[in-house]
Amino acid sequence: MLIACASCKKSILELYPLTSGNVKDFYKSATDFQYAVTALYGTLRAEGIVNEFEFGDLPTDDTYTAVGRSIQGDPDYDNLTVLPSTSAATTILANRWNNCYVGINRANLIINQIDAAGIDAALQKQYKGEAKFFRAFFYFTLVKTFGDVPLITQVIETVSQSYDYGRESKTKVYALIEQDLKDAIDLLPATYTIANLGRVSSVSAKGMLGRLLLFQNKFAEAVPILKSAIDAPSTYGLLTTGYASIFANNNGGNKEILFAFQYSPAVLQQQSGITNIFSQTNFPTQDIYNAFETGDLRRDISIQGSPGTTGIVKKFIDNVTGQLGGVDFPVLRFADIILMYAECLNEAGDVTGALPYINQIRARAFGNTTRNYQNTNPAAANTYVSGQIDLRSKILLERRLEFCFEGLRFWDLVRTNRFDILNAYFAASKIMVNGKNLQIMDYQKLFPIPQSILDVNPAKYTQNTGY
């Protein structure tokens, strides 16, 4: 991790995550690297990473947080107790920065040392592929949140080393992420045995690369990657047993989930669990409730109760215990691969080609094909697609409904440049700040650099524009 107070004698960097010995001397055997990779997966539970909904949902028209929560650092545009522009020192942003660099440092250790370890070739490829995937994931998390960030590909071993890195252009960071994911595609297996379900695969890497390319509006480049993921000879695909089964407590690692924050029922007792956080901070808005069409089964699977009063996020409730906890939180689903592919086809002007893909999602959502979109019969107004612009809006809405409360909404609005949707919601909901109606500004596509980070190395770190 990059940050450490100048007055501290001990770096916050996890230089020796498994032993007090020299890290370069320790990682030699297959077991050593197994532990190192396990530590990478463990980083997903860290604050600022595990609570992705606080970045992807709370700033949007989908959820709001409890009164007083945002003064604790939740980057929330709904509650508005504290605006992001005045909360650069909040803990949640610092945790996101810090813990992503913990993960990056762990990944760098594996990437830089495993080739010389002399372990089984298949394991070496897999572990290196997992490290490449995670380094890409953590950097993607950082760059979409903060923009330009320090780009580090070597293991940081001393506090003084961390001061050598300033913020690097997001273009260079994106290039590293893209290359890491391409490497991961080549290194990782497409499937695993049951005992290893939940590990990232080559299909996971293809999906994440597709998401990265869409975030940069590189639709043409994403087409073959996403199509390859759809056609991959693997165990992944849309669940045909219904939308609710994706999130069932006894169905973790199902074929639709390519990458997830995994939990067991024991998480019910852990306040750090994602679903415990949900129960305290994340509530559906009336706006998202109203956005579902009549007959869309996803609404009552995703939302329980009445928004604004007793409403809670239902899709992560354990269907056995009736409590929040023990349900995996998906980061990347096969449904996302399909909708991203439909979006790419539409952006290429192939509306007709895109329709069968979005309709796979709608057919499951309604339990039949009566609400599938078509572009041949204008008289059927509720299913007619008039062209590329119309389908673009419909895909964005479909993503909102399919992935509600899964931490994607804000980033979809950022990458599609649709803050007008949020501003219309703020106006209609009469959300006020200091007596004025809130309007989210373009600069708020990025969050502020945490003040604690700026204070560590003011010579090289500057605040994002507008904050």
Domains in the chain, CATH or no CATH each: 30-188+436-450 (1.25.40.390), 218-254+284-408 (1.25.40.390)
Res 81: pLDDT: 38
In this prediction, residues 303-319 reach a mean pLDDT of 81
Whether 4 has a pLDDT exceeding 50, the answer reads no
CA gap 201, 204 in Å, rounded:
5
Grade residue 280 by pLDDT with cuts at 50, 70 and 90: low
Res 329: pLDDT: 85
| Residue 395, token pair as written in the block | 């895909």
Name the helix (H) or strand (E) containing 352: helix 351-366
For the whole model, what pTM was predicted? 0.90
Q: What is the dihedral of CA 372, 375, 379, 384, to 10 degrees?
A: 50
Q: Are 410 and 67 in contact (CB under 8 A)?
A: no
Q: Are 190 and 202 in contact (CB under 8 A)?
A: yes
Name the helix (H) or strand (E) containing 329: strand 329-333
In this prediction, residues 122-148 reach a mean pLDDT of 97
pLDDT digits (tens, 9 = 90+) for 439-461: 888 998 998 888 888 888 888 89
Three-class SS of residue 394? helix
**Among 281, 287, 309, 279, which Cα is nearest to 75's?**
281
| Residue 292, token pair as written in the block | 């579902």
Q: Are 372 and 391 in contact (CB under 8 A)?
A: no
CA gap 21, 91 in Å, rounded:
31
pLDDT digits (tens, 9 = 90+) for 264-273: 655 444 444 4
The single-letter DSSP state of residue 261 is E
**Among 161, 78, 142, 75, which Cα is nearest to 104's?**
142
Q: Are 449 and 85 in contact (CB under 8 A)?
A: no
Contacts of 307 (CB under 8 A, 6+ apart): 283, 284, 285, 286, 288, 289
What percent of the chain shows pLDDT beyond 90?
A: 56
Grade residue 77 by pLDDT with cuts at 50, 70 and 90: low
